Amino acid sequence: MKTHESMYKRTFRPMKKKSTVKVKSQRVDHLHIYITNSSSYTKTIKIDPSLKMAQQHSFLLLCFFLSISYLLSSAQTEATSIERLVPRDLYNKIFIHKDNTACPANGFYTYESFVQATRRFPRFGSVGSPVTQRLEVAAFLAQISHETTGGWATAPDGPYAWGLCFKEEVSPQSTYCDSSDTQWPCFPNKTYQGRGPIQLSWNYNYGPAGRALGFDGLRNPETVSNNSVIAFQTALWFWMTPQSPKPSCHDVMIGKYRPTAADLAANRTGGFGLTTNIINGGLECGIPGDGRVNDRIGFFQRYTGLFKVATGPNLDCENQRPYA
């Protein structure tokens, strides 16, 4: 099995409020229904005083159950946006061998953890046309597949069927501690090698990722390889968060990226290749025919086929200068 290569560099949005219902009857001739979710809703219904008590109680129960039905419908709509784009059967087709016993991460990257992690980033896979949404998700899944691949040229089902095989970098060559970064200082006996789907690396990424996601990334970097939801969230955090002068991968894939003069001079054009530049351009971009770049493209081409969308132009970054 192919061993995992070392990595280079690898927004928090508040979760939607949970919906609640309160039915309060302060007077027998009025029913007050309070429904709150992403937007508050209040409804007051008058009850005919001539109704008998039993009829009033039946009416109250009817209104209560109608309110519960509304909430369940609303919650289901909010909860299934990513599930509509990536239903469980498609997730399993994409990651055919993630739970193969040969994969060190088998059993770690569950569908439930992926879906739960995306809820913290509601703009992921939800901006633009349906084609744009599917293209972004395909690009994200392709990039994390390359970062965690266990595939090889003659692997069963091909080299692009072995994403999410690893959860931690194999045989890291360093502690990935940039001691010059005083804002995000390294802690004794802690290492910041690649972990999780995006292989988050370096103290200057673990620190801000942890702050955004609610864990101490500098004191407890191993959380990323021990908690599958947080692991996916770090990948989504990196994908969604611009790190100047780099745009976010999200903005690139939804067409929001606007190149600066420096970008134009460096030939950093929008497309899947630019997300590779953002993730690992210092090691992979500006190199004709780089095998790692081609591996990323291979995953992307397979996944866009499964999502039934075209890849678009600018798949590689061989003619792009990496970010400084």
Query: What's the pLDDT score for residue 132?
Result: 98
Query: What's the pLDDT score for residue 34?
Result: 38
**CB 252, CB 313: distance < 8 Å:** no
Active-site entry in 136, 147, 168, 169: 147
For the chain, the domains span 20-79, 82-307
CATH (residue range 82-307): 1.10.530.10
Query: What's the pLDDT score for residue 9?
Result: 42
**CB 104, CB 167: distance < 8 Å:** yes
**pTM (2 d.p.):** 0.78
**CB 313, CB 143: distance < 8 Å:** no
- Is 284 annotated in the active site? no
Query: What's the pLDDT score for residue 81?
Result: 83
- Residue 171 exposure: Cα atoms within 13 Å on the Cβ side: 4
d(CA 318, CA 323): 13
Query: What's the pLDDT score for residue 48?
Result: 53
Query: What's the pLDDT score for residue 105?
Result: 98
Q: Name the stretches of the chain with pLDDT < 70.
A: 1-80
d(CA 145, CA 115): 17
